[in-house]
């Protein structure tokens, strides 16, 4: 449950990061807007031709009664549209990242710089290489998504189960792979291949679901995906810093208060005391030392004839035990 809340907080911190920097917020809107227009056209066309596709896919229902044929093909059309919509939620981020690769790469870099700097050994690639890597990684994510989407599509026809449990599982699948897609920008900077990214997120499924599922639900709201996309990239960058051990955790916030660039305050978090100022640990008395209620043994005290006598209230720990006052 802790990781689930952490993923949600990273999503919120990413949105706050871009909203507090209007220039970077506008910087990431254009690729998402272009992608939204493309997807709206595809989903609209599917809505118009869904009945024809359902009739083509269910020839066995031609001889059925009108009511049975209508219900079967209507259910098929609805499930087909929902399956395509679920894929659209995942692939929307992939297409937007592909179209706006230079924009989101720069946005992610600024987030890293504001949170302590770019990772050591950051991988620099030419633009064509980054686009090719993004395309192949997106195809890999899409293939893995289909492995879950196709069975869920078939199970959606099961009465009761298909209308209750299956939609919930579908959104969990969409949210997980949406998080995998959005983390690709910061992961590529670290030279982490897509299969390793998948393994890392599987190890912390709750973190990925806490980040991706609310975003997947929000992407279903018309036009909401466009303003959320820049903040989603920023939040995914913060999540990657957590996964790779370079972040400050979700409770630290994105950037120090009062610093618009998000840089850490010069004061920084409290540091532990220097070793020579820390309270030395108490040593156990040796076999020849007489135990006393208030005598403390120093860290360098050796058991033997120089051990402190019992009950000495003035005994001080140290390398040379003091004699009691006369």
Where in the chain are the domains? 2-39+78-119+127-251
For residue 233, give the nearest of 4, 31, 3, 88 by alpha carbon: 31
Those residues of the chain that have pLDDT short of 50 are 255-280, 283, 287-316, 318-321, 326
Q: What is the pLDDT of residue 323?
A: 52
The position carrying tokens 């227009």 is: 37
Q: What is the pLDDT of residue 291?
A: 47
Q: What is the pLDDT of residue 195?
A: 92
The full DSSP string for 95-116 is HHHHHTHHHHHHHHHHHHHHTT
Report how far apart, in Å, the C-alpha atoms of 194 and of each of 41, 70, 181, 200, 229 are: 30, 43, 9, 10, 21
For residue 151, give the nearest of 132, 165, 135 by alpha carbon: 165
Q: Is 86 exposed, middle or buried (0-12, 13-18, 19+ CB in 10 A)?
A: buried
Distance CA(244)–CA(102), nearest Å, equals 23
Would the CA dihedral through 272, 273, 276, 280 be positive or negative? Answer: negative
Residue 116 contacts residue 79 (beta carbons within 8 Å): no
In the numeric block, which tokens belong to residue 93? 């981020």
Distance CA(75)–CA(96), nearest Å, equals 31
**CA angle at residue 321 from 315 to 326, to 5 degrees?**
60
Report how far apart, in Å, the C-alpha atoms of 104 and of each of 61, 145, 154 are: 48, 23, 36
Residue 97 contacts residue 185 (beta carbons within 8 Å): yes
What single DSSP character describes residue 223?
T
């Amino acid at each position: 449950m802790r990781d689930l809340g952490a993923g949600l907080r990273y999503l919120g911190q990413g949105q706050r990061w871009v909203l507090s920097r209007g220039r970077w917020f506008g910087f990431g809107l254009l690729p998402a807007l272009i992608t939204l227009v493309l997807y709206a056209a595809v989903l609209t066309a599917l809505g118009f031709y869904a009945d024809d596709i359902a009739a083509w896919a269910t020839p066995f229902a031609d001889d059925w009664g009108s009511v049975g044929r209508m219900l079967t093909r209507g259910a098929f059309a609805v499930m087909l549209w929902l399956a395509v919509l679920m894929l659209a939620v995942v692939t929307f981020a992939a297409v937007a990242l592909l179209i706006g690769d230079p924009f989101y790469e720069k946005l992610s870099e600024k987030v890293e710089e504001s949170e302590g700097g770019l990772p050591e050994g950051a991988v620099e690639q030419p633009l064509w290489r980054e686009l090719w890597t993004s395309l192949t990684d997106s195809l890999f994510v899409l293939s893995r998504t289909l492995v879950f989407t196709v069975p869920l599509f078939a199970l959606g026809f099961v009465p009761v189960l298909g209308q209750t449990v299956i939609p919930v599982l579908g959104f969990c699948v969409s949210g997980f792979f949406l998080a995998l897609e959005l983390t690709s920008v910061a992961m590529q900077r670290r030279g982490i291949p897509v299969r390793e990214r998948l393994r890392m997120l599987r190890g912390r499924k709750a973190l990925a679901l806490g980040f991706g599922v609310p975003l997947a639900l929000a992407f279903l709201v018309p036009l909401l995906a466009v303003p959320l996309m820049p903040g989603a990239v920023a939040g995914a960058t913060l999540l990657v810093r957590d996964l790779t051990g370079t972040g400050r955790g979700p409770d630290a916030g994105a950037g120090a208060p009062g610093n618009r660039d998000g840089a850490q305050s010069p004061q920084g978090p409290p540091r532990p005391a220097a070793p020579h100022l820390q309270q030395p640990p108490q040593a156990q008395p040796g076999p020849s030392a007489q135990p006393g209620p208030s005598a403390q043994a120093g860290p360098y005290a050796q058991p033997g004839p120089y051990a402190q006598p019992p009950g000495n209230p003035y005994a001080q720990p140290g390398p040379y035990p003091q004699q009691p006052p006369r």
